């Protein structure tokens, strides 16, 4: 007997920084769990002319080993290279005919198939997405083509100073933990990955109970749910138990210099931070905003405006289900590299030793919440946010709860998390062998 | 200024996309967003307002019809430098105040410089629209250009230059413009040169500011969850009170005759970057829509000819794309690729083979249809946010007209396959083009 879908309609709350005074009411989000376990989320927004869909699987480099590094991303790219009904080119042409795109990529904690289209083509977009997810053929000749491209992308990444320095500091921070390598993988592993490894990853990841489908845009939500149920019911439910490697992240906590011909030196100072689900995650994000979020943050004012050391400087953070990062960075003239390291470490020390003022806390919260609100305004971003936070188990409405957690952060919280997490810097400096090219 | 995102608006024009406004292809149209309205203040400043209630945000933008092409050869980099300095303090607001004020309510501010214009933008919660407009009007004419801040900012701009030099794609694009528009202001570096930046004085900068930041060059754009009457009243009581200066801007000069140059430059790394460019039309030329579609068919999507031929069939490149840049005075069609250095010659030959093929046999109806759909969709995606809409409107008002912008998608829709082939033959000469390759130092020797 067919179960009638239980549809839960929940209205989103706009973030605290942007009270919903003048805007149209926030669109409702529909959540449905299909009989096979696939969670479907739909956000209907009549104010736009487009639709975006994001199909996420709980996969990614977190589930890889050094030998299989990059297999998730490789698989994702291959899924667009042919299905039972379309060649790679025919898939691309079909998506472009809808006024959109189909894309695929592997990330750290997930893998994504995503598509966009003019709103009236939402149903055809879902048909294409389902076909790619359920009926990929992983053609052998296309595997070698994709391998060459991925190796080329790894080379391009190594060619650019900031990505290269970033990959180095992340590797040093995470040690043997799978977060240590980029989602693209490692050259050594990508060279050796074969079709069997891709198929194995596909079988483990493409199970309905490890996936979330989110659709956002100008779409009729009840019809979208019905169409999704019909299209994705063939996804198998039972999941082979995907085991995450039980490796601890072990930061090297030292300083490494990479010599590379460049006009600018890159200085990155990394620390491990709590996972996105941890109670300390919100205070750490506020702390990052105090020191390196926006043009009135401490690093921007001190290192750029007052000392003229940089054009770009700030703190990068990540939202991982495992250990995240807190990463102050600065790009500076090679002759200033040592001064920049000292200046960044001094800013970190100030966080631990000096009391943070209430007005700095207030600005940092506003900046952070503004960022969150600004980032969630296109259909594609809405679809991603809904799918990601549902997938990792925090629930699709996590951003609203995160906003409340940020709002509750105190100066004492900041001091506490600074003391707890900012203790062992891992430093990477990329600089030319000679002072300048 | 682009203070946060380390991508100078030096390259803004490269991403020039053909936004339009108010025309919808969708059979499931978006809920009625009111059309933009254009008002002219007593002193001639146009104010464009559009209610957009997708989120509780307002995008406020000041567009200035002064950019790098308005500099004399001794002033290179001034327009960009001024853009760095404008938010650094006014006669009534000390430096740092504006950043704290804007970020303190969750907002953002930034700016960008092109050859044809400079623009300043603030994105705020909609309830802050009045103080936001007041702040923009303040920086427009009351910036102090403090001498001490100006000196310190030189180091920041020199860092911006270094950052840009280290980015191969940006370096390739910049140098390709220099080749394509050699001897024309469009061939100069928007950011200037290290020597000119180091030598810059407050007097020079102030003189440029007083000359170009006047009601005659301004346009104000406001898009968001706002009351248009309140916005117009505030604009009138701030921008509307600025005295006219009797300034007339010179039209963009046409470029000198094109002289093809072919060049290799050493750049660190393992891969090479190849760029080919052809002179194309200025923004308001009748051939621009057909060239826009041609660029799309050649290399703007996964199914496009260059991607299919060079990347998918022959495996010569990691990526390849084509783009059209149409400025007020001139334009260019460019093809860029990233590839192993050993494939440079074959890739160049293959790009030229595709150019010959489109000249000889034209494009298919299916290709043309997809390119037109892509243009329609691009507009829909670009205008999902308030600032996306504001940029499309501001750019149109500044370098074109609002009417042209609104009509652009209709012009795109009426282009035929015959016209696309005709512009390929008219503009893409496979014997005469600019060529630049950034190659790993060993390969360059």
Subunit contact B152:A159, Cβ cutoff 8 A: no
What average pLDDT does the segment A22-50 reach?
Answer: 90
Query: What pLDDT does A14 receive?
Result: 31
Question: How many CB atoms sit inside 10 A of residue B198's CB?
Answer: 13
Under the banding of pLDDT at 50, 70 and 90, the label for residue A21 is low
Nearest of A66, A83, A322 to residue A202 by alpha carbon: A83
Are B34 and B50 within 8 A, CB to CB? yes
Q: Calculate how close chain A gets to B213, using CA atoms only, in Å.
A: 24
The token pair that represents A117 in the structure block: 């289209």
Q: Which residue has the higher pLDDT, B153 or B4?
A: B153
CB contact (8 A) between residue B57 and residue A377? yes
**Which are the contacts of B153, defined by CB distance < 8 A and separation ≥ 6?**
A308, B81, B84, B85, B88
Site from B302, B305, B317, B347 to mutate, A interface, most A CB atoms within 10 angstroms: B302
Q: What does the block give as tokens for B335?
A: 């093809």
Q: Compute the average pLDDT of residues A242-267.
A: 84
Chain B contact set for A93 (CB, 8 A): 303, 366, 370
Q: Do B55 and A377 touch (CB under 8 A)?
A: yes
Q: Provide the shortest C-alpha distance from residue B264 to chain A (in Å).
A: 17
Nearest CB neighbour to A120, from listed B26, B105, B317? B26
pLDDT of residue A22: 61
As a whole-number percent, the residues of chain B with pLDDT over 90 amount to 82
Q: Which two tokens stand for residue B90?
A: 């006014």
Q: What are phi and psi of B122, to 5 degrees?
A: -130, 130
User: DSSP 3-state assignment of A360?
Assistant: helix
Closest Cα to residue A217, out of B30, B244, B7, B256? B30
Q: A437 contacts in B (CB within 8 Å)?
A: 268
Please give the pLDDT value at position A27: 82
Q: How confident is the model at residue B3 (pLDDT cuts 50, 70, 90)?
A: very low
To the nearest whole number, what is the mean pLDDT of chain A? 92
* Higher per-residue pLDDT: B381 or A20: B381
Say if CB A304 and CB A313 are below 8 A apart. Answer: yes
**All residues at 6 or more sequence positions from B308 whose CB lies less than 8 Å from its CB, including other chains:** A89
Contact assessment for residue B265 and residue B445, using Cβ atoms and an 8 Å cutoff: no
Pairwise CB contact (< 8 Å): A152 & B28: no
What is the distance in angstroms between the Cα of B31 and the nearest Cα belonging to chain A?
5
Contact A366 B105 (CB under 8 A): yes
Instruction: State mean pLDDT over A76-101.
Output: 97
Is A48 in Cβ contact with B165 (below 8 Å)?
no
Per-residue pLDDT tens digits for B184-207: 999 999 999 999 999 999 999 999
Contact A366 B376 (CB under 8 A): no
| Helix-helix angle B344-361:B417-427, to 10 degrees | 130
Contact between B105 and A370 using a beta-carbon 8 Å cutoff:
yes
pLDDT at A4 over 60: no
Contact between B90 and B138 (Cβ < 8 Å): yes
> pLDDT of A99-137, one tens digit each?
999 999 999 999 999 999 999 999 999 999 999 999 999
Q: Is residue A299 within 8 Å of residue A344, measured between CB atoms? A: yes
How far does A364 lie from chain B, in Å, by closest CA? 8
Interface test with B, best of A97, A132, A296, A432 (most B CBs within 10 A): A296
pLDDT at A238: 72
Task: Say if CB B355 and CB B294 are below 8 A apart.
Answer: no
B300 vs A101: CA distance, rounded Å: 11
* Residue, of A424 and A252, whose pLDDT is higher: A424
Task: Provide, as residue numbers in chain B, all residues whose Cβ is less than 8 Å from the Cβ of A118.
Answer: 25-26, 373, 376-377, 380
In 3D space, the residue among B291, B285, B299, B283 whose CA is nearest the CA of residue B419 turns out to be B291
Q: Which residues of B touch A312 (CB under 8 A)?
A: 6, 159, 163
Count contacts between A and B (CB, < 8 Å).
246
Question: Which one of A97, A332, A362 has the shortest CB-CB distance to B373?
Answer: A97
Please state, in angstroms and rounded to a whole number, the distance separating the CA atoms of residues B26 and A111.
31
Helix (H) or strand (E) holding A292: helix A281-292
CB contact under 8 Å between A308 and B155, yes or no, is yes
The DSSP output letter for B143 is: B
Cβ contact (<8 Å) for A93 and B384? no
Residue A335: closest CA among chain B residues belongs to which residue? B159
Helix (H, G, I), strand (E, B) or coil at A296: coil
What is the structure's pLDDT at B56? 87
Å between B252 CA and nearest CA of chain A: 31
In DSSP terms, B111 is beta-bridged to B120
Query: Phi, psi (5° rounding) for residue B395?
Result: -65, -40
Helix spans in B8-103 (H): 78-85, 97-103
In terms of pTM, does the model score above 0.80? yes
- Kindly report the nearest CA distance between residue B258 and chain A, in angstroms: 31
Q: Which residues of B touch A101 (CB under 8 A)?
A: 301-302
Q: State how far the alpha carbon of B286 is from the alpha carbons of B116, B282, B292, in Å.
A: 20, 9, 11
How many whole angstroms separate alpha carbon A13 and alpha carbon A15?
Answer: 6
In chain B, where the domains are located: 9-13+35-241, 262-444
Q: Which of A48, A300, A374 sits opposite B384 (nearest CB)?
A: A48
Judged against a pLDDT cut of 60, whether residue A228 lies above it is answered with yes
- Contact list in B for residue A48 (CB cut-off 8 A) is 30, 54, 380, 384
Dig out the tokens for B180 from the structure: 């394509």
Q: In Å, how far is B148's CA from the nearest CA of chain A?
A: 10
Q: Would B9-13+35-241 and B262-444 be classified into the same CATH topology?
A: yes
**What is the structure's pLDDT at B5?**
26
Domain B262-444 belongs to what architecture? Answer: 2-Layer Sandwich (3.30)
- Complete edge-to-edge strand list for the sheet that includes strand A324-332: A255-259, A426-431, A265-273, A324-332, A313-317
What letter does residue B90 receive in the DSSP assignment? B
* SS3 state of residue A86: coil
What pLDDT was estimated at residue B24?
A: 31
d(CA A183, CA A75): 12
DSSP designation for A302:
I
Kindly state the tokens that stand for A258.
Answer: 């990479």
Rounded to an integer, what distance in angstroms lies between the CA atom of residue A389 and that of residue A401?
A: 11
Residues of chain A found within 8 Å of residue B271, distances taken between Cβ atoms: 152, 155-156, 159
Taking CB atoms and an 8 Å limit, are A22 and B226 in contact across chains?
yes
Residue B146, both tokens? 């403090």
Test B25 with A118 for CB contact under 8 angstroms: yes
- Return the minimum-mean-pLDDT range out of A52-61, A343-352, B376-385, B418-427: B376-385
User: Looking at A75-84, A167-176, B390-399, B403-412, which range is the least confident one?
Assistant: B403-412
Structure tokens at A231: 């299209």
pLDDT given for residue B9 in this prediction: 29
Shortest distance, CA A98 to any CA of chain B (angstroms): 7
User: Across the interface, which of A18, A295, A311 has its CB nearest the CB of B106?
Assistant: A18
How confident is the model at residue B443, as a pLDDT?
A: 57
Tokens of B437: 């390759």
Q: Which of these ranges, A341-350, B53-62, B316-325, has the smallest mean pLDDT?
A: B53-62
Question: Is there a contact between A156 and B29 if contact means CB atoms under 8 Å apart?
Answer: no
Q: Does domain B9-13+35-241 fall into CATH 3.30.830.10?
A: yes
Structural domains present in chain A: 8-232 (3.30.830.10), 255-431 (3.30.830.10)
Partner-chain residue, chosen from A47, A158, A261, that has the shortest CB–CB distance to B54: A47
Yes or no, beta carbons of B53 and A370 under 8 Å apart: no
For residue A128, the model assigns a pLDDT of 98
Q: Do A296 and B100 touch (CB under 8 A)?
A: yes
Q: Give the closest residue to B340 by CA, choosing from B437, B233, B240.
A: B437
pLDDT digits (tens, 9 = 90+) for B259-315: 999 999 999 999 999 999 999 999 999 999 999 999 999 999 999 999 999 999 999
Put simply, the answer to whether B166 touches A262 (Cβ < 8 Å) is: yes
First and final C-alpha spacing in chain A = 73
**Among the listed residues B142, B134, B5, the one whose alpha carbon sits nearest the alpha carbon of residue B85:** B142
Q: Are the Cβ atoms of A262 and B303 closer than 8 angstroms?
A: no
Q: Of the ranges A353-367, B13-27, B132-146, which one carries the lowest mean pLDDT score?
A: B13-27
Q: How far apart, in Å, are the Cα atoms of A308 and each of B93, B148, B260, B332?
A: 21, 12, 40, 36
- Residues from chain A contacting residue B10 (CB–CB below 8 Å): none
Residues of A in contact with B384 (CB under 8 A): 48, 50, 377-379
Segment holding B108, helix H or strand E: strand B108-113
Q: Are A430 and A266 in contact (CB under 8 A)?
A: yes
pLDDT per position as a tens digit, B30-75: 556 788 999 999 999 999 999 988 778 999 999 999 999 999 988 9
What's the pLDDT at B16? 29
**A288-337, pLDDT tens digit by residue?**
999 999 999 999 999 999 999 999 999 999 999 999 999 999 999 999 99
> Is the CB of residue B50 less than 8 Å from the CB of residue B37?
yes
SS3 label, residue B309? helix
Mean pLDDT for B119-127 is: 95
For residue A118, give the H/E element and its range.
strand A111-118
Q: Quick one: pLDDT at residue B369? A: 97
Mutate to test the interface with B, among A370, A371, A373, A381 (most CBs of B within 10 A): A370
Beta bridge partners of A52: A116, A216
With H, G, I as helix, E, B as strand and everything else as coil, classify residue A172: helix
- Count other Cβ atoms within 10 Å, centred on residue B147: 13
Distance, in Å, from the CA atom of B108 to the CA atom of A372, rounded to the nearest integer, reads 12
């Amino acid at each position: 007997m067919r179960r009638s879908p239980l549809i839960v309609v929940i209205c989103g709350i706009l973030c605290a920084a942007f009270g919903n005074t003048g805007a149209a009411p926030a669109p409702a989000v529909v959540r449905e769990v299909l009989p096979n376990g696939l969670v479907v989320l739909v956000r209907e927004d009549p104010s736009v002319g487009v639709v975006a869909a994001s199909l996420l699987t709980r996969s990614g480099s977190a589930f890889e080993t050094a030998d299989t590094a990059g297999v998730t991303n490789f698989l994702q790219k291959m899924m667009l290279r042919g299905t039972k009904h379309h060649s790679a080119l025919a898939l691309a042409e079909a998506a472009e005919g809808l006024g959109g795109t189909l894309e695929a990529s592997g990330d750290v904690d997930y893998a994504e198939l995503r598509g966009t289209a003019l709103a009236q083509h939402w149903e055809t977009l879902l048909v294409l997405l389902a076909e790619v997810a359920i009926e990929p053929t992983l053609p052998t000749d296309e595997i070698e083509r994709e391998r060459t491209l991925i190796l080329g992308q790894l080379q391009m990444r190594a060619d650019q100073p900031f990505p290269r320095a970033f990959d180095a500091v992340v590797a040093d921070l995470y040690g043997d933990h799978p977060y240590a390598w980029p989602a693209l993988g490692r050259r050594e592993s990508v060279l050796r990955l074969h079709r069997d490894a891709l198929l194995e990853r596909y079988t483990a990841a493409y199970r309905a109970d490890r996936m979330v489908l989110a659709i956002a845009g100008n779409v009729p939500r009840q019809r979208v749910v019905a169409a999704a149920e019909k299209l994705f019911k063939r996804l198998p439910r039972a999941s082979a138990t995907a085991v995450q490697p039980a490796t601890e992240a072990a930061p090297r906590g030292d300083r490494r210099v990479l010599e590379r011909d460049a006009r600018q030196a890159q200085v990155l100072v990394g620390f491990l931070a709590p996972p996105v689900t941890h109670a300390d995650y919100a205070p750490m994000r506020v702390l990052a905003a105090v020191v390196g979020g926006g043009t009135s943050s401490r690093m921007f004012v001190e290192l750029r405006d007052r000392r003229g050391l940089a054009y770009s400087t700030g703190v990068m953070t990540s939202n991982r289900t495992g250990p995240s990062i807190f990463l102050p960075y600065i790009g500076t003239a090679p002759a200033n590299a040592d001064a920049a390291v000292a200046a960044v470490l001094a800013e970190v020390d100030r966080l631990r030793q000096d009391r943070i003022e209430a007005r700095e806390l207030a600005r940092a919260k506003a900046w952070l919440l503004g960022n969150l609100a600004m980032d969630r305004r296109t259909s594609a971003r809405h679809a991603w946010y809904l799918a990601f936070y549902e997938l990792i188990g925090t629930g699709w409405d996590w951003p609203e709860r995160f906003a409340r957690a940020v709002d509750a952060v105190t100066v004492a919280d900041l001091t506490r998390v600074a003391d707890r997490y900012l203790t062992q810097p891992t430093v990477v400096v990329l600089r030319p062998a000679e002072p300048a090219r | 200024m682009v203070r946060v995102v380390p991508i100078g608006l030096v390259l803004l024009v490269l991403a020039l996309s053909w936004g339009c406004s108010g025309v919808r292809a969708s059979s499931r149209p978006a809920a009625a967003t009111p059309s933009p309205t254009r008002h002219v203040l007593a002193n001639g400043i146009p104010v464009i307002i559009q209610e957009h209630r997708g989120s509780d945000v307002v995008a406020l933008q000041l567009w200035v019809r002064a950019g790098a092409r308005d500099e004399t050869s001794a002033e290179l980099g001034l327009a960009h430098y001024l853009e760095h300095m404008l938010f650094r303090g006014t006669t009534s607001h000390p430096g740092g105040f504006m950043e704290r004020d804007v970020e303190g309510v969750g907002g953002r501010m930034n700016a960008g410089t092109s050859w044809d214009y400079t623009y300043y933008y603030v994105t705020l919660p909609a309830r802050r629209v009045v103080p936001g407009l007041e702040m923009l009007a303040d920086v427009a004419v009351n910036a102090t250009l403090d001498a001490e801040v100006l000196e310190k900012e030189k180091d920041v701009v020199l860092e911006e230059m270094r950052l840009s030099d280290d980015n191969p794609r940006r370096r390739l694009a910049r140098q390709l413009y220099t080749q394509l528009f050699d001897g024309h202001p469009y061939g100069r570096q928007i950011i200037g040169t290290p020597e000119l930046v180091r030598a810059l004085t407050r007097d020079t900068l102030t003189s440029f500011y007083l000359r170009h930041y006047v009601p005659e060059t301004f346009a104000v754009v406001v898009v968001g969850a706002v009351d248009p009457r309140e916005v117009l009243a505030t604009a009138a009581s701030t921008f509307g009170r600025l005295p006219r200066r009797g300034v007339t801007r010179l039209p963009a000069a046409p470029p000198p005759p094109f002289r093809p140059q072919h060049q290799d430059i050493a750049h660190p790394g393992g891969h090479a970057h190849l760029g080919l460019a052809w002179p194309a039309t200025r923004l308001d030329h009748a051939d621009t829509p057909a060239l826009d579609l041609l660029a799309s068919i050649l290399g703007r999507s996964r199914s496009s000819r260059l991607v299919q031929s060079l990347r998918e069939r022959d495996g010569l490149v990691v990526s390849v794309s084509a783009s059209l840049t149409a400025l007020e005075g001139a334009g260019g069609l460019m093809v860029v690729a990233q590839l192993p250095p050993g494939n440079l010659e074959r890739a160049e030959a293959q790009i030229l083979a595709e150019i010959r093929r489109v000249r000889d046999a034209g494009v298919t109806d299916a290709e043309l249809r997809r390119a037109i759909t892509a243009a329609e969709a691009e507009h829909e995606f670009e205008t999902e946010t308030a600032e996306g809409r504001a940029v499309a409107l501001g750019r149109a008002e500044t370098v074109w007209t609002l009417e042209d912008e609104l009509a652009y998608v209709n012009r795109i829709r009426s282009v035929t396959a015959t016209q696309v082939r005709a512009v390929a033959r008219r503009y893409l000469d496979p014997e005469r083009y600019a060529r630049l390759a950034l190659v790993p130092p060993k390969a360059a020797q």
